[in-house]
Amino acid sequence: MKRLLAALALIAFAVLPASAQDYPAKPLRLIVPLAAGGIADNLARTLGQRITDATKQPVIVDNRPGAAGAIGTELAARAAADGYTIFMGGPGPLTVMPYLRSNLPFDPVKDFAPIINIVTFANLLVVHPSVPANSLAELIALAKAKPGTISFASQGTASSGHMVGEQFKLVAGLDLVHIPYKGAAPAVQDLVGGQVSMMFDSVLVSMPHVRAGRLRALAITSRERNPGAPEVPTMAEAGLPGLEAGVWFGLFAPAGTPRSVVDWWNRETRRIFSEPELRNRMVMQGATLDLGPPEKFAALMASDSERWGRVIKSAGIKGE
């Protein structure tokens, strides 16, 4: 019996590395729960092309937008856990939506295995030039002097811009009016046009308008100043500590996917996004690259979920 167990152990030891070495042996699918052309889609296509170059296996980017990301997220949760379907997820459906919908067709914790957080984009607080505030302190004073009169646009209910705006209201003790849009483009268009007063949006989208004089940047929600907007102070530097937030995008596998596959994707993603040219380009667009182990990503999700749960409860936000 001992000889049999020893033989089986040797076979297992011999087979497992070979199986991992053979991966991937067929085309891969990378589900993106958002429309083509956005940040998540661009990340997925950059990663997919470099994976294809390295393995000679095609990576099919499968855009499944709709229901604020819930459609694509459910599809990924129900996929086979065989290592050939991977998911590019963000905070909306995974850490915000569970507090707004009681009938979600997936469980963010039980249905997914976190692989790696690729990138976090801090939010830039920008105002229309007509707003008589040249600093964060002046904006807060103005909002307190005229409660309920200053509006903030967002990319939609439960979006990153909405959540950070609500957190800003709570931390600063303000009464602001939320105006949700269907995406960043129409929100920024109305902000530039002066139909709304302020917005939390990405450095990539906002800074060209700031540099053209169409918007004014007051602060950024990162811990340190961003190379893409070095002149903009952090929230803490501007006098409001306790507001650090951003929108992240990372990879997940369906729960039950072999750990060897999770580790393979973590390792390859770190390699690709550590390339100096790609990394530097993304940093100048306002990105902070994390690229840590799966356990660090799981901890980020847990802390994010706790934070947005508190904000949603305190602000009384209801799902649509």
Domains for the chain: give ranges and CATH numbers: 27-118+247-315 (3.40.190.150), 122-220 (3.40.190.10)
pLDDT of residue 17: 36
Helical H segments across the chain, by residue range: 2-22, 39-55, 70-77, 91, 136-145, 160-172, 184-193, 203-211, 259-273, 276-284, 294-315
Helix axes 203-211, 184-193, angle to 10 degrees: 20
Q: In the predicted model, is pLDDT for residue 5 greater than 70? A: no
Task: Tell me what the mean pLDDT of segment 58-86 comes to.
Answer: 94
Pairing mode, if any, of strands 177-180 and 246-254? unpaired
**pLDDT band at 137, cuts 50/70/90?**
very high
What pLDDT score does 159 carry? 84
Look over the chain and give the mean of its residue pLDDT values, rounded to a whole number: 90
Mean pLDDT for 234-246 is 90
In the predicted model, is pLDDT for residue 233 greater than 80? yes
pLDDT tens digit string along 241-299?
988 888 899 999 999 999 999 999 999 999 999 999 999 999 888 888 999 999 999 99
Res. 6: pLDDT tops 70: no
CA distance 101 to 103: 6
Distant-in-sequence, close-in-space partners of 44: CB < 8 Å, separation ≥ 6: 30, 32, 61, 88
CA distance 290 to 93: 20
d(CA 217, CA 180): 20
Nearest to residue 245, comparing CAs of 124, 126, 69?
124
Say yes or no to pLDDT of 7 above 50: no
Distance CA 305, CA 115 (A): 17
Confidence band of 1 (pLDDT split at 50, 70, 90): very low
DSSP 3-state assignment of 289?
Answer: strand
C-alpha atoms less than 13 angstroms from C-alpha of 80 in its C-beta half-sphere: 5
What pLDDT, on the 0 to 100 scale, is given for residue 44? 96
Query: Cβ(155)–Cβ(227) under 8 Å?
Result: no
What CA–CA distance (Å, rounded) separates 284 from 280? 6
| Percent of the chain that is helix, strand, coil (3-state, to 5) | 45, 20, 35
Torsion over CA of 50, 51, 52 and 56, rounded to 10 degrees? 130
Confidence at residue 39, expressed as pLDDT on a 0 to 100 scale? 85
pLDDT tens-digit readout, 199-230:
999 888 899 999 999 999 999 998 889 888 89
Residues 49/60, Cβ–Cβ less than 8 Å: no
For the cut 50, the answer to whether the pLDDT of residue 13 exceeds it is no
- Please determine, for residue 57, whether its predicted confidence score (pLDDT) is greater than 90: yes
pLDDT, average across residues 135-150: 96
What pLDDT sits at residue 270?
Answer: 97
Cis status, amide bond into 24, omega within 30 of 0: yes
The model's confidence at residue 36, banded by pLDDT at 50, 70 and 90, is confident
Over the Cα atoms of the chain, what is R_g?
Answer: 22
Average pLDDT over residues 57-75: 93
106 in Cβ contact with 73 (< 8 Å): yes
Give the whole-angstrom CA distance, residue 115 versus residue 106. 18
